[in-house]
Amino acid sequence: MSAVVIMPEVRGKLTANAPLAPLVWFKSGGSAEWLFEPADEGDLVDFLTQLEAERSLMALGLGSNMIVRDGGVPGVVVRLGKSFARIEQLDETTIRCGGGASGILVSSTARDHGIAGLEFLRGIPGTVGGFVRMNGGAYGREVRDILVSARIALRSGEIVDWPLEKLGYTYRHSELPKGAIVVEATFRGSPGDPEAIGAEMDAIARAREESQPLRSRTGGSTFKNPPGHKAWALIDAAGCRGLTRGDAQVSEKHCNFLLNLGSATSADIEALGEDVRRRVAAKSGITLEWEIQRVGTEA
Where in the sequence numbering do the catalytic residues fall?
Answer: 172, 221, 291
Q: E strand or H helix at 199, and its extent?
A: helix 194-211
Q: What are phi and psi of 280, to 5 degrees?
A: -65, -40
**Would you tell me how many other CB atoms lie within 10 Å of the CB of residue 174?**
21
Residue (of 128, 124, 146, 147) closest to 137 by Cα position: 124
Rg (C-alpha) for the chain, rounded Å, is 20
CA distance 22 to 42: 27
Residue (of 161, 170, 182) closest to 58 by Cα position: 182
DSSP label of 81: -
User: What is the DSSP pairing of strand 248-250 with strand 244-245?
Assistant: antiparallel
CA distance 152 to 125: 21
Beta strands per DSSP E along the chain: 13-19, 31-37, 57-60, 66-68, 73-79, 87-91, 94-98, 115-116, 137-138, 141-142, 147-153, 159-163, 181-188, 190-191, 217-218, 244-245, 248-250, 258-260, 293-295
Q: What is the dihedral of CA 155, 160, 164, 168, to 10 degrees?
A: -40
CA distance 252 to 86: 38
Q: Which residues of 183-221 are buried (b: 16+ CB within 10 A; e: fewer)?
A: bbbbbbbeebeeeebbebbeebeeebeeebbbebbbbbb
